[in-house]
Amino acid sequence: MANNPRARIRDVAKVLGVTELELLETDLGSGVTRLSCDFEPFLHGLKSLGRVMALTRNDACVIETYGNFDGIKIFDHAAQVVSPGVDLRIFPTHWAHAYAVVRDGGGRVIHSIQIFDSDGSATHKVYIPKGGDRASWEKFLDSRKHDDQETRTVVSNHEQVSAKEKPDGDIDEKALLADWAELKDTHDFHFLLRKHQVTRTQALRLAEGQFTRRVTSEAGRDALIAASETKTPLMIFVGNPGTIQIHSGSVLKTAAYKQWYNVLDPDFNLHLKESLVDSAWVVTKPGGELGTATSLELYSAEGESIVMIFGLRKQGADYGPAWEGIVENLR
Residue 294 pairs with which residues in a beta bridge? Answer: 284
168-254+274-328 domain in CATH 3.40.50.720? no
CATH topology identical between 9-72+95-144 and 168-254+274-328: yes
Using CA atoms, how far residue 243 sits from 87, 236, 288, 292, in Å, is 10, 14, 26, 26
What HEC string does 193-254 produce?
HHHHCCCHHHHHHHCECCCEEEECCCHHHHHHHHHHHHCCCEEEEEECCCEEEEEEECCCCE
10 Å CB burial of residue 124 (0-12, 13-18, 19+) is buried
9-72+95-144: CATH architecture: 3-Layer(aba) Sandwich (3.40)
Residue of 260, 262, 236, 239 lying closest to 250 (CA atoms): 236
Please give the Cα distance from 325 to 291 (Å, whole number): 16
What pLDDT, on the 0 to 100 scale, is given for residue 291? 81
Residue of 70, 44, 69 lying closest to 143 (CA atoms): 44
Residue of 209, 235, 225, 214 lying closest to 290 (CA atoms): 235
For the chain, give every domain's residue range: 9-72+95-144, 168-254+274-328
Residue 278 near residue 301 (C-beta atoms within 8 A) = yes
Number of CB atoms found within 10 A of residue 222's CB: 18
The CA dihedral of 236, 238, 243, 246, to the nearest 10 degrees, is -10
Q: What is the pLDDT along the chain (331 residues), one digit of tens a residue?
A: 444 445 678 888 888 889 999 999 999 999 999 999 999 999 999 999 999 999 999 999 999 999 999 999 999 999 999 999 999 999 999 999 999 999 988 789 999 999 999 999 999 999 999 999 999 999 999 999 999 999 999 998 755 555 679 999 999 999 999 999 999 998 899 999 999 999 999 999 999 999 999 999 999 999 999 999 999 999 999 999 999 999 999 999 999 999 999 999 999 999 999 999 999 999 999 987 768 899 999 999 999 999 999 999 765 454 568 999 999 999 9
